[in-house]
Chain A
């Protein structure tokens, strides 16, 4: 007679753990220091349990541009996160995934992620290390399984070498893949825009930009405070529900009605190169996004209280604001060869 059994063997003798050291100890681990720009707060992700090294970073960079993390080989992380668009999808409201599918949200730009506590526009991911599991396994994104990507990478001698160099063994596990990716994406720091140079006294705003900065401080900074230009909160900014996507945002994660239609406040850094805007990419131009706050707010029970009457701005003030927002483009970051694909 068979039964479901959990058999627990308890031993009274002391177990001797024999730890077999990997035969390939990393020869030349090169520690890297986390970049924390002047004036930035203490980061949330500090590489404490994932020591940042040149080898780990380089492995993460290769994985970020690796098509084999997707089912058909076409969709690397970088296919939706393009460097020249500050690692968002250039000029796409929704991105493209496996088998001619669309994603369900506008791809977020990737920078200063070490300062974020939660990921995705609904905050469903609580640690950057496990974020890549979502796009890798989503059937409309990379459509692959974790065991499959591990097996594919194990077939490649170059990866064997890179994992050995970064982690001291050739095992190749999902944990190592995710830690390497975290080393790369958490190293992407944006802090060298014209705005940053003005703050350091190395450049000056032209009058339109200066007026825009003053307006930003009174009209936008509550939700998009310096220096990260987001407070990382979740807010309903009065966007009418798209009846095809029916996306209610954070409520899907918390199950709480009070979170209906709330999405994470994105950073305004690099906003000019991350069009289109909003969680579903419904606005193609910065001026349209700003105009939404002026006269497009749709009222609902969870509308952010600061937007009950919209944000009053004149037409010329919109122009000033756009001029300022363009100073937040970090052209060093979007051209930095350190974050580009390596030559194959």
Chain B
């Protein structure tokens, strides 16, 4: 969604800065998922949890994880791929460089990719293009998102019940979150650095838990 409006690839939206834009590509990694119950002190890291979320592929937007029967009231995940996997050579699956989320000349994963167009962009064909990456030192864009699960829901996870979490991703935050990053001023960001980090500090605020439901 964008602000309060539903999202479609063929629609035009207006961000909170009053700029009209449309999106042709939106992909990002989610990894290192952790479940936590601060009351019991239980914590579970989901092993090998690397997911490439592609807005144009609905299957990629559903993630199944196993909680080992542990109740929890917090779920957290990294937006992006941890630094270790950025330096460990050839990877497969979601991390296959064939997924077009890998910088070949300056090794590292593109953590989040947003492409489209906006009338206010002064680039050729009014493009907006954000390839956000960088995992070292001050250029590190890895952000952990923490979402609270209502305890009456998170703690009943026993037996063979499934919990479905519906998470909204609000693209408006990409431009206006901690930082005010207008499309007119910043239509392109494709290298690690301060601007990429600011975008990451914005987009970590995109994720909001909308609803939970317990299913058998």
- Is A4 on the interface with B (CB-CB < 8 A)? yes
When C-beta atoms are compared, the residue in chain A nearest to B209 turns out to be: A8
CB of B90 within 8 A of CB of A10, answer: no
Q: Known: A4-B169, A173-B92, A174-B90. Contact between A255 and B192, CB under 8 A?
A: yes
Q: Write out the residue numbers on chain A whose beta carbons fall within 8 Å of the beta carbon of B6.
A: 1-3
Tell whether B127 is near chain A: CB-to-CB under 8 Å.
no
B164 touches which of A9, A133, A146, A147 (Cβ 8 Å): A9
Question: Which residue in chain B gives the minimum CB-CB distance to A127?
Answer: B89
A253 and B169 form a contact (CB under 8 A):
no
Of chain A, the residue at the smallest CB distance from B170 is A4
| Bound form: Cα–Cα A1–B86 in Å | 38
State A10–B33 Cα separation when bound (angstroms).
Answer: 12
Q: By the criterion CB–CB under 8 Å, are A126 and B87 in contact?
A: yes
Per the 8 Å Cβ criterion, residues 1-59 of A in contact with B are: 1-15, 49-50
B61–chain A nearest beta-carbon distance, Å: 5
Contacts of A253 in B (CB 8 A): 106
Chain A minimum-CB-distance residue to B96:
A174
Q: Complex formed: what's the CA distance from A120 to B92 in Å?
A: 23
Question: Nearest B residue to A145 by beta-carbon distance?
Answer: B98
Residues 163-185 of B, flagged 1 when their CB comes within 8 A of A and 0 if not, give 11111111100000000000000
Are B193 and A10 interface neighbours, CB within 8 A? no
What 1/0 flags go to A257-297 for Cβ under 8 Å of B?
00000000000000000000000000000000000000000
Chain A residues with CB below 8 A from B158, complex form: 12
A51 → B minimal CB distance (Å) = 13
Q: Determine if A12 and B169 form an interchain contact, defined as CB atoms under 8 angstroms apart.
A: no
CB distance from B175 to the nearest CB of A (A): 15
Main secondary structure of the interface of A (DSSP, over half): mixed
Interface residue A125 (Cβ < 8 Å from any Cβ of B):
yes
Say if the beta carbon of A179 comes within 8 Å of chain B: yes
Min C-beta distance of A182 to chain B, whole Å = 7
Tell me which residues from 54 to 100 in chain B have a Cβ below 8 Å from any Cβ of chain A. 55, 61-69, 75, 86-92, 96-98
Could you tell me the distance between the alpha carbons of A1 and B11 in the complex, rounded to whole angstroms? 13
Across the interface, which residues of B come within 8 angstroms of A126, CB to CB? 86-87, 107-108
Q: Is the CB of B107 within 8 A of A4?
A: no
Q: Are A9 and B90 CB-contacts (below 8 A) given A133-B104, A150-B98? A: no
- For A, the interface residue count at a CB cutoff of 8 angstroms equals 43
Contacts of A145 in B (CB 8 A): 98
A220 within 8 A of B: no
The smallest beta-carbon distance between A263 and chain B, in angstroms, is: 15
Contacts of A8 in B (CB 8 A): 62-65, 75, 164-165, 167
Q: Contacts A12-B158, A13-B160, A133-B102; is A2 near B8 (CB within 8 Å)? A: yes
Q: Give CA–CA (A298, B99) in the complex, Å.
A: 44
Note all chain A residues with C-beta closer than 8 A to B7: 2-4
Q: Which residue of B lies closest to A146 (CB)?
A: B98
User: Which of A10, A147, A182, A255 contacts B89, CB < 8 Å?
Assistant: A182
Tell me if B1 is interfacial: C-beta within 8 Å of chain A. yes
A178 in the interface (beta carbon within 8 A): yes
Q: Which residues of chain A are near B30, meaning CB under 8 Å? A: 6
B162 to A, closest residue via Cβ: A11
With an 8 A cutoff between CB atoms, is A130 at the interface?
A: yes
The complex places the Cα of A259 from the Cα of B90 at a distance, in Å, of 27
Cα A100 to Cα B171 in complex, Å, equals 42
A8-B165, A120-B105 given as contacts; is B89 within 8 A of A50 (CB)?
yes
Q: Write the chain A residue with the least CB distance to B60.
A: A6
Q: Answer yes or no: A124 CB below 8 A from chain B CBs.
A: yes
Q: A7-B164, A120-B105 are in contact. Are A175 and B91 (CB under 8 A)?
A: yes
29 sample A-B contacts, Cβ–Cβ < 8 Å, listed by A number = A3-B1, A4-B26, A4-B168, A4-B170, A6-B30, A6-B63, A8-B65, A8-B75, A8-B165, A9-B162, A9-B163, A9-B164, A10-B162, A12-B67, A12-B69, A50-B89, A126-B87, A127-B88, A128-B89, A129-B90, A130-B89, A130-B102, A130-B104, A133-B104, A146-B96, A147-B98, A174-B92, A253-B106, A255-B191
